[in-house]
Amino acid sequence: MSPVLVLIIMAAYFAVLFGISYVSGRKADNQGFFTGNRKSSWYVVAFAMIASAISGVTFVSVPGMVGTQAFSYLQMVLGFAVGQFLIAFVLIPLFYKMNLTSIYEYLENRFGLSAYRTGAWFFFISKMLGAAVRLYLVCLVFQLLVFDPLRAPFGLNVIFTVFLVWLYTHQGGVKSLIWTDSLKTFCLIVSVGLSIYFVSKDLGYGFTEMTAVIRDSDLSKVFFFEDIKDGKFFFKQFLAGVFLVIATTGLDQDFMQKNLSCRNQKDAQKNMVTSGILQIFVILLFLVLGLLLYLFAARNQLQVPAKTDDLFPFIATGGYFPLIVGVLFVVGLISSAYAAAGSALTALTTSFTVDILESTKKRSETAVAGIRKKVHVGMAVIMGLVILLINLLNNTSVINAVYILASYTYGPILGMFVFGIFTRRQVRDRFVPLVALLSPVVCFVIDSNSKVWFNGYEFSHERLILNAMLTFLGLLLLTKRNTLKMEK
């Protein structure tokens, strides 16, 4: 695909995006940036959250994983839906009752200042690393499609990409994101849906034939109960999905920032349940597309890329289909990539301004706005530098390590919230950071030796659960004596 065409597509897309961002955010104040003034319609937020949940990595990775994982990812997605149900009826009532701007303010009210700052810093590290890695992988695709053909360096690619994210979020924050993410969700679904249509048409399948082929294929197997040591084992995937979504959505300022923008608690609950159900069907579309791409490659005797993540871009932009398929791929990639990055940048700005700098306390609206805008620029610069660092290391194992690290850093957050919500015990707040740091270390030791200690058992996503349990036990050890007497 021509790099000029890709740039034209990007220019047209962002022209519409900036128009929506300007109209929706031109009168936004600090509360508009942080919480959308709590005037967002729940059904708009539910639709918008699909784009936030599906990053550029998901867009290129989920179709490719069908070759090695079949449809097993749906087991985790079903866990996501259950987790979002729990968020809707456990966490959302709590957050609305406390009228929070940042969800980590709960930790200060429940435990104290040290726990509050610990939660905020763990979120900051997790989100910055996760967002930078996701945007880095998208930058690699754009480097191949646009910047390499134009002989432009990767650094310029990063500056261009991060600047676009900053530009459409700097004014309106959440108030703008609700509407821009709705556009991205629409583009994402349309691009995947039409890609399925064109690929199945080339294979000679109508809807009935396509569903029959998918049903009969070994690659469409969803449930795996055979081997508990297998990473695809159902309860591993399902339970990991439940706890992952609680930690990375319910206890993540990025996603909860949108939920807290709804008019009231009931609307936020409707949004959370609806988006959880919609996500199942959207992920199913990605898996169906992946299966069809593998069938297309087999029928045309194409050599499947060694990295399964490259399958969708390889076929979509390789000239095997009408040009519209390549255009749809670029639009879908842009939609998913910039939705996730924009949400992350806004959430990082909010958390750093409210939680770490505590700028909203005893300051005027104008002063807070000035600090918030500086922080927003700072977060964009840091994100760009992290992307450049990952590229400098130039090692795919670094990417895997960063994702594993993110699962470790969300564990203490999950453990602190579970302890706070389901017990009445008070803890020695000044020691909470120590527990939050030691829990991932102990978890790492257990994870590294699990095959020897547990008869070949290997941890996967469930290390998050182990990490949270260790944090919970650590907080139990910090319980103050007077609260023990009270409970007796």
Topology adopted by domain 3-396: Sodium/glucose cotransporter (1.20.1730)
Yes or no: say if 388 and 139 are a contact pair by the CB < 8 Å rule. Answer: no
Tell me the one-letter amino acid at 201.
K
Encoding tokens for residue 360? 């909203």
Please state the φ and ψ torsions of residue 171, each to the nearest 5 degrees: -90, -55
What are 439-463's pLDDT values in tens digits?
999 999 998 888 888 887 877 777 8
Q: Which of 127, 64, 425 is nearest to 256 (CA)?
A: 127
Please state the φ and ψ torsions of residue 479, each to the nearest 5 degrees: -60, 135
Q: Which of 41, 48, 56 is nearest to 335 (CA)?
A: 56
Instruction: Round to whole Å and give the CA distance between 172 and 188.
Output: 22
Instruction: Round to whole Å and give the CA distance between 346 and 344.
Output: 5
What are 28-68's pLDDT values in tens digits?
444 544 444 556 666 677 766 766 666 656 777 788 888 88
- Per-residue HEC secondary structure of the chain comes to CCHHHHHHHHHHHHHHHHHHHHHHHCCCCHHHHHHHHHCECHHHHHHHHHHHHCCHHHHHHHHHHHHHHCCCHHHHHHHHHHHHHHHHHHHHHHHHHCCCCCCCHHHHHHCCHHHHHHHHHHHHHHHHHHHHHHHHHHHHHHHHHHHCCCCCCHHHHHHHHHHHHHHHHCCCCHHHHHHHHHHHHHHHHHHHHHHHHHHHHHCCCCHHHHHHHHHHCHHHCCCCCCCCCCCCCHHHHHHHHHHHHHHHHHCCHHHHHHHCCECCHHHHHHHHHHHHHHHHHHHHHHHHHHHHHHHHHHHCCCCCCCCHHHHHHHHHCCCCCCHHHHHHHHHHHHHHHHHHHHHHHHHHHHHHHHHHCCCCCCCCHHHHHHHHHHHHHHHHHHHHHHHHHHHHHCCHHHHHHHHHHHHHHHHHHHHHHHHHHHCCCCECHHHHHHHHHHHHHHHHHHHHCHHHHCCCCCCCCCHHHHHHHHHHHHHHHCECHHHHHHHC
C-alpha 42: how far from its chain's center? 20
Comparing 263 with 483, the larger pLDDT belongs to 263
pLDDT of residue 249: 79
What are 267-309's pLDDT values in tens digits?
888 888 888 888 888 889 889 988 998 888 888 888 877 777 6
pTM for the model stands at 0.74
What are 282-292's pLDDT values in tens digits?
889 889 988 99
What are 175-200's pLDDT values in tens digits?
556 666 777 777 778 878 888 888 88
Is the pLDDT at 418 greater than 70? The verdict is: yes
Is the pLDDT at 201 greater than 80? The verdict is: yes
pLDDT of residue 29: 47
Alpha carbon of 59 to those of 147, 154, 279, 396: distances in Å? 21, 22, 13, 18
Q: Which of 376, 420, 344 is nearest to 115 (CA)?
A: 420
Write the CB contacts of 444 (distance below 8 Å, at least 6 apart in sequence): 408
Alpha carbon of 363 to those of 25, 366, 377: distances in Å? 22, 8, 20
Question: In this structure, is the dihedral angle defined by the CA atoms of residues 264, 267, 268 and 269, taken in order, positive or negative?
Answer: positive
- Residue 488 confidence class, pLDDT cut points 50, 70, 90: very low
Alpha carbon of 4 to those of 145, 219, 317, 409: distances in Å? 9, 37, 14, 41
Write the CB contacts of 361 (distance below 8 Å, at least 6 apart in sequence): none
What are 126-158's pLDDT values in tens digits?
888 877 877 887 787 788 778 888 888 999 999
Encoding tokens for residue 433? 């950071």
Yes or no: say if 387 and 138 are a contact pair by the CB < 8 Å rule. Answer: no
Instruction: Round to whole Å and give the CA distance between 47 and 186.
Output: 8
User: Averaged over 467-471, what is the pLDDT?
Assistant: 93
Encoding tokens for residue 105? 């303010």
Write the CB contacts of 166 (distance below 8 Å, at least 6 apart in sequence): 345, 376, 377, 380
User: Averaged over 240-247, what is the pLDDT?
Assistant: 84
Query: What percent of the chain is modeled with pLDDT above 90?
Result: 11
- Residue 98 confidence class, pLDDT cut points 50, 70, 90: confident
